[in-house]
Amino acid sequence: MDGKIDYFEIPADDVSRAKKFYSVLFGWKFQELTNEYLRIDAESPIPGGIIKRKRTNQPWTNFITVKDINSISKKVLSLGGKIQLKKVAVNKRGYLAICIDTEGNVFGIWQKDKNAIYP
């Protein structure tokens, strides 16, 4: 279904410190995918993760499910939004892109595709 929030990412300067905070606060458990990315376990009501902060003031990012990431990316631009990160593959999961709306808010779009291959 288009338009459903599917995933969120929390940026952190110190991924281990953020893991401890959210583990104690909400009881979340994590799976370490890399030293810069932790995925919240499957028991969480909404899937998400903690990612190493890449830039100053990087916000939490919600990813919204879409059927066709290419057409939605074009639509973002036609409506006056911007594409901050063009479509990238997440191995055997799908494709994501990071967008900015007309008000300066960051959001991600996500297209599931088990055939996606990261170059």
3-state SS, the chain, equals CCCCEEEEEEEECCHHHHHHHHHHHHCCCEEEEECCEEEECCCCCCCEEEEECCCCCCCCEEEEECCCHHHHHHHHHHCCCEEEEEEEEECCCEEEEEEECCCCCEEEEEEECCCCCCC
Give pLDDT, residue 78: 95
Asked whether residue 42 is assigned to any structural domain, the reply reads yes
Same-domain status, 91 and 45 = no
Q: What is the pLDDT of residues 58-67, one digit of tens each?
A: 889 999 999 9
Asked whether residue 59 is assigned to any structural domain, the reply reads no
47: containing domain: 8-54
Q: What is the pLDDT of residues 30-72, one digit of tens each?
A: 999 888 999 988 777 778 999 999 989 888 999 999 999 999 9
Is-above-0.85 flag for pTM? no
The total of structural domains in the chain comes to 2
Q: Do the Cβ atoms of 84 and 47 come closer than 8 Å?
A: no
For the chain, the average pLDDT equals 91
Asked whether residue 60 is assigned to any structural domain, the reply reads no
CATH code: domain of residue 109: 3.10.180.10
Asked whether residue 92 is assigned to any structural domain, the reply reads yes
Give pLDDT, residue 63: 93
Residue with tokens 């899937």: 47
Same-domain status, 71 and 99 = yes
